[in-house]
Structure 1
């Protein structure tokens, strides 16, 4: 009797296997890197973009973040390792990474190349008088050497301290040991909101700008993943949903931060 019950149970499980396989195939596991800045909020725009893109091709998304934080250099390296992260959004030189594949359309429409300045409130009058990039050069900017902005700022002749941690940069602004901290238009408000214990602000007149485009990257062993993602992104663009999503996350932000009326200093 016990053997008969076991046999029936085994047959039942075998019948379920095709349905379980279909269910698993309907879910895409995205292994992503935890941001190197612990204070950074989850990138809700990227989450929404991935969720909607894969939905277009009939897939649900399961987001799995790495245990340890990673900077851009480590993220790029981890994409090469089997069993590591399988997707990242990066602004890198594709020709330097021949084994990595990327989507064809910029994810942020260039907004990541627009930088506003986090400053101490008691420095506001100094920045208000600045009308050219040359006038900004003697002031001390803050940026980590491992971040892409560091090289851009240095190449443009700006004075940059790249030796501090994120928390130390905030402290340097608060104590006037640094003058400004360039941050992305997309993130500066959220970052500043977390600094309630210091007297900092978003400088209201200046914007630094340089070409910077982000794409989704994966290793060529995950080619099928990228093909699915590319198909979903293309459908979002063709339907106008991509633009609607961008406006939902950044349209009001661009107006609120007065990007169109700022003094723009173009960097190399």
Structure 2
């Protein structure tokens, strides 16, 4: 018994030391920030996550960024931020008047405005479907796929276009392959990666080479209106990354090759109106926007 007691007492300082180390590590881990996971498998928004990590590092704060445990629709992520319930702390999405009223926007366009330029995914056996299209009215007879809670859905419908919706992101690619609609407009910066993933899943899709849709808008980071200090931190970090060129280097690393491949200057541009563009959008701040087409 005496020997056991001595052995127990000898181990107590080591246990205390390990406990202190654990507390020290926990105290330096930073504030936990959860963002809504887009989908399972390969992350189609890896660029945005890395940009947010860059901004948080440059913010002067101490944060630990992590995704939600399961994929989360935009509508549910937005509701979480509106309630400030702690399930989600930051999200990114296209801006609208309603979103800017309900959430706190950081008005620096994540994709430098390229979210405004959309090319089409089509079935591989219909890759020339749009070869002769030059006007918006010619698109009205074709069906376009969108997720039900994407702001693009309202924009496309406001311009007289026929939109088929579904709650699931992955299901849109299967629906296009099955002929449930003819066109899936996608951001120029993600279309080819999405086509590659769809092909790996056994789907037969192609990126149209003829048209590009354009409507003015921006993708922003958003926080709860009850977290102005977090929004300010992200703003500081993004501004610092713009000033030292880190934002541009990251943008070019992810998207430079795709933009060259897109050959935007060779495409027919179809202009659409965006009736839901907030007046506060910083259109006149040239440094924030990528201009894919030279002024004519």
> Which TM-score bucket, shorter chain as reference?
0.7 to 0.9
Change over 3 Å in CA distance of 1:176–1:225 after alignment to 2? closer
2:221 corresponds to 1:216: yes
2:75 paired residue number: 73
Q: Could you tell me which runs of 5 or more consecutive residues in structure 1 were left unpaired when the two chains were aligned.
A: none
Q: Map residues 7-156 of structure 1 onto 2, 5 A cutoff.
A: 19-20=24-25, 23-24=28-29, 27-35=30-38, 37-38=39-40, 41-57=43-59, 62-79=64-81, 80-93=83-96, 96-98=99-101, 100-156=103-159
For residue 4 of structure 1, report the CA deviation from its aligned partner.
7.2
* Mean CA deviation greater in 121-130 or 197-206: 121-130
Asked if structure 2 preserves the Cα contact closer than 8 Å seen for 1:91 and 1:212, the reply is yes
2:257 corresponds to 1:252: yes
In 1, the alpha carbon distance for the partners of 2:71 and 2:88 equals: 12
Structure-2-length-normalised TM-score: 0.77
1:193 paired residue number: 196
* Mean CA deviation greater in 222-231 or 212-221: 222-231
Asked if structure 2 preserves the Cα contact closer than 8 Å seen for 1:87 and 1:216, the reply is yes
In 1, the alpha carbon distance for the partners of 2:109 and 2:194 equals: 23
SS at match of 1:252: helix
In 2, the alpha carbon distance for the partners of 1:133 and 1:261 equals: 18
In 1, the alpha carbon distance for the partners of 2:10 and 2:190 equals: 59
1:266 paired residue number: 271
In 2, the alpha carbon distance for the partners of 1:175 and 1:29 equals: 41
Between the two proteins, the alignment pairs up a number of residues equal to: 265
SS at match of 1:125: coil
Q: Map residues 155-174 of structure 1 onto 2, 5 A cutoff.
A: 155-163=158-166, 165-166=168-169, 168-174=171-177
SS at match of 1:215: strand
Asked if structure 2 preserves the Cα contact closer than 8 Å seen for 1:51 and 1:60, the reply is no
Change over 3 Å in CA distance of 1:57–1:200 after alignment to 2? closer
1:178 paired residue number: 181
In 2, the alpha carbon distance for the partners of 1:227 and 1:164 equals: 32
Asked if structure 2 preserves the Cα contact closer than 8 Å seen for 1:144 and 1:164, the reply is yes
Report the RMSD for the aligned CA atoms in angstroms.
2.9
For residue 235 of structure 1, report the CA deviation from its aligned partner.
0.9
Q: Could you tell me which runs of 5 or more consecutive residues in structure 2 were left unpaired when the two chains were aligned.
A: 274-296
2:291 paired residue number: none
Structure-1-length-normalised TM-score: 0.84
